[in-house]
Chain A
Amino acid sequence: AQSVTQPDIHITVSEGASLELRCNYSYGATPYLFWYVQSPGQGLQLLLKYFSGDTLVQGIKGFEAEFKRSQSSFNLRKPSVHWSDAAEYFCAVGARGGSYIPTFGRGTSLIVHP
């Protein structure tokens, strides 16, 4: 079964600074990988996803993520953070084939200082 780890519970950055949120997965083959964002009081919204092809994936709101097979990682990045990016970020991994039920990480809370 697949699993996903988000090592950072909280990340604090200043507005305008760059951001990298870490995600490591465990799966025997190349998985499907997702990043979701949850704003306070809201449901999760997809930022981006990877399933094949170019390992650098562009998403909404200026986010990107890079799949690194050798490191089993799918880190989320943004070059310049805005105050509105403060939210909870979830990495998820899905298995190819089978019942397709993605596994979510515990989430990383992003705090943005003005």
Chain B
Amino acid sequence: DARVTQTPRHKVTEMGQEVTMRCQPILGHNTVFWYRQTMMQGLELLAYFRNRAPLDDSGMPKDRFSAEMPDATLATLKIQPSEPRDSAVYFCASGLERGTDTQYFGPGTRLTVL
């Protein structure tokens, strides 16, 4: 049963520290999405990759967030420096490049910045 994996599942850190979240998309999927979920804002799209190339990161605070895909099996989302307002659940999802295709979500990383 193929699924998206995310690590770590939980992360507690102090303000100013660097945070790295990792995602392994489903093998064969060529699109990867990063979302942030909070009570106040709901589900926000942060970044979108297709064939490892970033196509849309307009939802991401550029000064502190960065997203990469070093290879087809790994996507990373980094926050440096982290701030308390970054506390949220971060989801990775993967899919195929078709408008009808399903997004398969990982279990999320719950980030708490103190």
Which positions in A face B, CB cutoff 8 Å? 32, 34, 36, 41-46, 49, 51, 90, 94-97, 99-102, 104-107
Contacts and interface: CB of A to CB of B under 8 A. Distances in A.
Given A44-B91, A90-B43, A107-B43, A32 B56 contact: no
B73 interface: no
A99 to B, nearest CB: 6
B17 interface: no
A43 B4 contact: yes
Interface in B60-109: 91, 93, 97-100, 102-108
B103 A32 contact: no
A96 B93 CA distance: 20
Contacts of B91: 43-44
Interface residues of B, number: 22
A44 B103 contact: yes
Contacts of B45: 101
A49 B105 CA distance: 15
B55 interface: yes
Interface of B: 4, 33, 42-43, 45, 48, 50, 55-56, 91, 93, 97-100, 102-108
13 contacts: A43-B105, A43-B108, A44-B43, A44-B93, A46-B102, A46-B103, A49-B102, A51-B100, A94-B99, A100-B98, A105-B42, A106-B43, A107-B43
Contact of B48 (A34, A94, A99): A99
B56 A101 contact: yes
